């Protein structure tokens, strides 16, 4: 459905959802706690232990199934992308040849539970409602993370209430927080992991920016939230999320410039954008030592080159079928136990989602994951470019952040990143007519007006001071 001169393009769209709707309010009782557990899983495990976490997950899955039945999710289930269905089937089939069948069964069950929760979100909420729910969840995690880090900086490092070690912490990474807020070192926040905190903060930056632009309410909350997310992103010091932010910014610029243009011009914009990306990637590969030094990382990407080499050796042993699905590697399971250890801390992931899929599900699993990612990107890109409201940029932003994260982390395969992938890939298959009405001018024009008005307001405020 390309945009032509006969179709209205963009106008400030102020379609506020009714927060008093029974369906919306009922969904919040599951959406908020579910998203928090997925985004801050370590906070839950450190607070109530693995058994408590397992009980919470079990109750959450039961509640999700009840919601899906109560609100008739058949049409949403039918929208599951074909590569995702095939990938899930392959995970289940890997029980036949898995080297660790009980763990494969457990991991596959958790994978299905996460898919059901993503379907619940897709069925229960529209895109604008999802923006509100996701923004509020991220906002809560960032605020509590800052308060938690202030507390840790005052009283000293904080150990988990239910630690996964005996005696003294074997390494600082085992601590809930190292209390580095005033030390200039990386902070972990309530999520207990600097890389995950960076992911949540960058996600917040993008959500709060869109929230600031499209909301009809006061701009103070999204503006303050954006500032907090920026601070937390900087304090978490994640090179991967810095690259993700640049990637999203570049994609947003291309999407905004391409909107409303004839097909041949759009294709020229895309071709030139790909050439620019290829040139940047080539330069980064040639000067990777200097780049990592600039980002404050070692030339081997904080040990990742060694990790990838060892995991690839396992890929070569079973390149077709893989070793069997396990998601994040479970401690004590061969061949993962003791495979990688850095600074006294065992690693339980390949630190690359595609490599992890390949080693677990073989070449077929890798192809299916690539198909899912490519299909999702194309559909989300079409929505972002062909719709005129900036609202529809954020689903693409979410996808790009989790895709960038998957280059140096395997979190795409578990918890919040997996749920977000299933959510955006499934919801993107809804009909274009299900989206909000389009306006009468492009995003570029709309954003120009928006920032012009904002600048005038700032000048008026400054003149009063």
Domains of the chain by residue range? 28-60+127-237
Q: How does DSSP classify residue 326?
A: -
- The 10s digit of each residue's pLDDT in 360-397 is 999 999 999 999 999 999 999 989 888 878 888 999 99
**High-pLDDT (> 90) share of the chain, %:** 56
Predicted confidence at residue 27, as pLDDT, reads: 87
Buried b (16+ CB within 10 A) or exposed e, 228-238: bbeebbebbbb
Predicted confidence at residue 3, as pLDDT, reads: 41
Q: Give the SS3 label for residue 154.
A: helix
Predicted confidence at residue 325, as pLDDT, reads: 96
- The 10s digit of each residue's pLDDT in 27-65 is 899 999 999 999 999 999 999 999 999 999 999 999 999
Other C-beta atoms lying within 10 Å of the C-beta of residue 18? 10
Buried b (16+ CB within 10 A) or exposed e, 417-441: bbbbbbbbbbbbebeeeebbebbeb
Bond preceding residue 335 cis, omega within 30 of 0: yes
Buried b (16+ CB within 10 A) or exposed e, 397-413: bbbbbbbbbbbbbbbbb
339-340-345-351 Cα dihedral, nearest 10 degrees: -120
Tell me how far apart the alpha carbons of residues 355 and 162 are, in angstroms, rounded to a whole number: 32
Tell me how far apart the alpha carbons of residues 71 and 78 are, in angstroms, rounded to a whole number: 15
């Amino acid at each position: 459905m390309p945009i032509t001169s006969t179709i209205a393009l963009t106008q400030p769209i102020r379609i506020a959802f009714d927060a008093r709707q029974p369906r919306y309010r009922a969904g919040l009782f599951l959406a908020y706690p579910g998203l928090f557990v997925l985004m801050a899983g370590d906070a839950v495990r450190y607070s109530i232990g693995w058994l408590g976490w397992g009980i919470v997950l079990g109750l959450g899955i039961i509640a999700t199934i009840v919601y899906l039945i109560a609100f008739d999710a058949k049409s949403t289930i039918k929208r599951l992308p074909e590569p995702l269905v095939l990938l899930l089937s392959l995970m289940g089939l890997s029980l036949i040849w898995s080297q660790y069948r009980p763990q494969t069964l457990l991991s596959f069950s958790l994978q299905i539970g996460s898919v059901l929760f993503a379907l619940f979100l897709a069925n229960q909420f529209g895109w604008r409602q999802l923006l509100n729910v996701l923004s509020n969840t991220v906002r809560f995690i960032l605020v509590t993370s800052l308060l938690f880090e202030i507390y840790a900086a005052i009283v000293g490092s904080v150990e988990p209430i239910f630690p996964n070690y005996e005696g003294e912490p074997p390494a600082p990474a085992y601590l809930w927080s190292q209390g580095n807020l005033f030390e200039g070192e990386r902070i972990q926040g309530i999520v207990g992991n600097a890389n995950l905190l960076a992911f949540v903060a960058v996600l917040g930056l993008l959500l709060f920016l869109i929230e600031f632009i499209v909301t009809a309410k006061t701009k103070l909350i999204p503006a303050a939230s954006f500032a907090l997310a920026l601070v937390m992103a900087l304090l978490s010091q994640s090179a991967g999320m810095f690259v993700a932010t640049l990637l999203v910014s570049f994609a947003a610029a291309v999407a905004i410039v391409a909107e409303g243009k004839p097909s041949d011009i759009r294709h020229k914009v895309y071709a030139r954008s790909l050439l620019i990306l290829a040139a940047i990637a080539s330069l980064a590969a040639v000067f990777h030592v200097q780049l990592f030094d600039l980002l404050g990382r070692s030339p081997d990407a904080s040990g990742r080159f060694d990790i990838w080499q060892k995991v690839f050796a396992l890929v070569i042993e079973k390149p077709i079928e893989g070793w069997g699905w396990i998601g994040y590697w479970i401690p004590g399971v061969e061949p993962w136990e003791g495979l990688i250890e850095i600074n006294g801390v065992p690693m339980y992931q390949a630190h690359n989602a595609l490599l992890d899929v390949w080693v677990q599900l073989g070449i077929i699993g890798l192809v299916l994951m690539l198909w899912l990612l490519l299909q999702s990107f194309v559909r989300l890109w079409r929505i972002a470019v062909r719709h005129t409201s900036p609202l529809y940029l954020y689903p693409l932003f979410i996808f790009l952040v989790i895709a960038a994260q998957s280059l140096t982390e395997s979190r795409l395969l578990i918890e919040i990143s997996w749920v977000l992938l299933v959510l955006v890939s499934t919801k993107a298959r809804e009909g274009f007519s299900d989206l909000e009405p389009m306006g009468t001018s492009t995003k570029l024009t709309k954003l120009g007006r928006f920032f012009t008005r904002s600048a005038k307001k700032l000048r008026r405020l400054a003149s009063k001071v």
